[in-house]
Structure 1
């Protein structure tokens, strides 16, 4: 029997064995997927390259021109015949934080109801007032209502000794240990954790600086690559009957045709608010079949398509080693088969929980970007051979093995290393 006859006989035996034992190339359970060209655009996903980062200035408060008083503020007040005497020097107060100039007067806190209490005077509501308006309200009661001072006589002044603070919790699943420069930038009451993942910060933010950008700056900056490109703000307590109540989602990248989905009111942080930066551990894809079985993280800010995703795991894509066998090379050129696996099935779970199988022609994906579809979180990529590709691979391996065995049995090989010298 000639070598060519033996190869064709081996080919027939291979087909028979595949039909009787269930070759994966012939009994692929996911090979009946829907071709890419038959799917709507919403299933294929939108490229991340279409998204643009939002300006960080949108996460910052437009600082008001005048400070408005509220509960928690501490004022420095000078009021002759009420708190001070006209013939006595005015006491000087240094601010607790040390980042403000000293002020004159005695400390008077703004109560929970927004009022201040001064001797001989009725409670004065100062909530929502400026410092100038608060002084006028005190002066009006001293001069006009209580007639303690004559108009134009005595000293009355109001200055801000210590602004109120908003306690905000920041929970980051990407946070680095807090750096000394961050600690010097503002007050930080406590730092819990300090590892790369799972760090929490308790901040005290002043009015006018109680915005999302300030909270991010004090805890390490915008979310890193390990975190999602969004920030979640939770206000108040969680209500199981209304889970969306007090829940604000701030995306950091948006398509150019989508309007900004939040307002300045949404990025203002109040006492008791929690800022959460979530890790993107679930943004992965899976590979099976001839590419092996593994889990691979998806990049956050750029796209990954089928070919690139398979290249990440070093899958067998384009391999020219078959050309060393003339018989196989002629078979491939004749259209009998291809030695490279080209059957890809992407198993994707839809938002409604259903599962869809997408069939991708890998050979076509090299030429047409529409066939080289985007990979979405949770996708399972199955790489397998078509029947003709399995046959060509078998022929490649068989011919290589047969050639090697014939070389070993040849007289020239047995004479290697044998010397004819006596």
Structure 2
């Protein structure tokens, strides 16, 4: 505690602390990946089953298999975690950019011994949330300090503290299998998801209060795949991890969309079909999925576009009640990917404010591009390696593509737009990179060298 931020930072560096390494001691990326791979060989909980996948795979001699992997991700909010708290004899005041003000009030009440009615939480602008500020650990710290010294405290994390003490997006591994008949018709889809659970690490503790140990959140964008394929199976295998996990923008939709839509392109190539038409062949003509695919294909000039020097890729995904299809145009030079343009069709029901829709969808695309091209969190000896934007890189202004957003006009109930723009961008870019290089990218972020 100091009279100003600079003095606190300088003094903090002088303190020598011997940390308890905790249950994550010795943990590293190789251990995590081995855990995911080992779990993928075990039988998971089946959450969707149509037809007979086992029989279809056994009877086909045209099987495509692929494994997709997504890493840990930090939220890296523009404003690091911070909170101002003032604990007095008969009341506690808190000023914080929190996504869970009721939770902050409950925490402050518990720490101070005051009733909830005596706790006042003032919610400021978030400075970027993306799920990170749903956790009030930073509020706890400020209240505890103020409660100890009985003075107002403004607690500010450094960027390094923020980066290394996040609640990270979980890593995941996706085993994909598809099968064709003798006429090259797709007959089978199998998606096996392996990941640790946010739900069971944050909200529901072991032992589980119900029989099925399935985190339904991990299945977002996978269980309800819209494509009508005769034989389908989606299953989930959960692993445990001591790493703090949390909701990251679009939650598990980002990982599941990456696996789904990249694999759809692999299947389209095997069938010898155009990626757009291949998707449409497995969707009802009047479906909203088909609607956004057709719209983005039309607006981007998909059928008339000629590859070289830029190349295109497409993807489609529904999340939070909103359908989004995207076409990305990229170039590759010296193993470096440049995204030039993104065309995006959005069906979010009745549009209340078009400007907000465009802003939120564009924001999701940019946020997703950072994870697609640059950023990831790595672990060594139980600690996060990255600590600032020099080693956790994000998209800069000069790297941002031109974004075109088109909204479907309908009178359906309005749905979310803050997160649905993110999931389709990684597969759209990865599919375009394949068109440019002939290399299948199955691990993010993209690394060509």
| Bigger radius of gyration | 1
More helix by share: 2
TM-score range, shorter chain: under 0.3
Q: TM-score, normalised by structure 1?
A: 0.21
